[in-house]
Amino acid sequence: MTDKKIALVTGATSGIGEACARRLLSAGYRVIITGRNEAKLSGLKTEYGDDVLPVVFDVRERQCVEDAMTSLPEEWQEIEVLVNNAGLALGLEPEYEGDFRDWDTMIDTNIKGLLYVTRAVVPGMVQRRKGHIVNIGSVAGDAAYANGNVYCGTKAAVKAITDGLRIDIAETPLRVTLLKPGLVETNFSDVRFHGDSERAANVYKGIEPLTGDDIADAMIYAVQAPRHVQIAEMLILATHQASGSVIVRK
Ligand code: NDP
Ligand code: 8X3
């Protein structure tokens, strides 16, 4: 048994989620790393050993999320930090030409998946009167940009859902933080463009983008703030990005 605090990160196999998991580990947390890619999770487990518990599930599968959380080993059950990070964009085209399957996947992952994990983890936090929920929103949730339509809508929903949770747990000592990153170079654009890596690379051309570590820095700042301080929201942009649609490239 150890007195280290426990965190859970969804989508810890890549990008922002992986950076958050690593940052929490270096801050002394034991971390439940979750995702769909078992091999990638096992790699992190090999790197960090007993401080890491890999748990494989797809956030869209409500029953799997619930089963995964109820079957956590006893010594891993008292989660203090939840980073709801798993998410994606698919496609960048006018709304009237959008692909229904892409819409379903984004809505099921970014909104419903985040809700399923929240619903499974937060009751324990409320009961123990201890916990911090960090949701990964986006600058895309502040205002729509051209062809971003449904993705922007899912991140606007994450903002409303995060605000709603903050209201609903305001009588407890729990804290809720929304991080809203701008351009972060991860697998995000490769996924968005269905593996068209040239198109993905263009997203970050002529501007120094953020990294997953930059977002992990913001996460750990919010988590380590004094208990009476609740960082409600942080908008984190690349220096030459002013909004979701104003990006000045060299
Ligand atoms: P990555 O593609 O690098 O990482 C996404 C992570 O989410 C992966 O671990 C992926 O795992 C996981 N994931 C996706 N779908 C599911 C699912 N159904 N069940 C479980 N895990 C899933 O992108 P980012 O790190 O950039 O994205 C992380 C979050 O940050 C997302 O919510 C994204 O919307 C948000 N964001 C990203 C920005 C950016 O510019 N990159 C800016 C603002 C917000 P798998 O390997 O299984 O697909
Ligand atoms: C990811 C950032 O601007 O590509 O949410 O939508 S953006």
pLDDT tens for residues 83-127? 999 999 999 999 999 999 999 999 999 999 999 999 999 999 999
Distance 229 CA to ligand 2 centre (A): 28
Nearest alpha-carbon partner for 162 in 181, 177, 142: 177
* Portion of the chain with pLDDT greater than 90, in percent: 99
Q: Is the pLDDT of residue 136 over 70?
A: yes
pLDDT tens for residues 17-34? 999 999 999 999 999 999
* 151 is annotated as an active-site residue: yes
* Portion of the chain with pLDDT greater than 70, in percent: 100
Task: For residue 244, give the ligand nearest its CA.
Answer: 2
Residues 187-207: what's their mean pLDDT? 97
Give me the sheet containing 79-84, strands edge to edge.
52-56, 30-35, 6-10, 79-84, 132-136, 175-181, 233-236
Residue ranges around ligand 1 (CB below 6 Å):
10-11, 13-17, 35-37, 58-60, 85-88, 109, 113, 136, 138, 181, 183-184, 186-188, 191, 212
Distance 13 CA to ligand 2 centre (A): 19
Residue 145's pLDDT is 97
Residues 127-139: what's their mean pLDDT? 98
Phi, psi of 57 (to 5 degrees): -160, 160
Q: Which domains does the chain have, with CATH numbers?
A: 6-236 (3.40.50.720)
Q: Is the pLDDT of residue 243 over 90?
A: yes
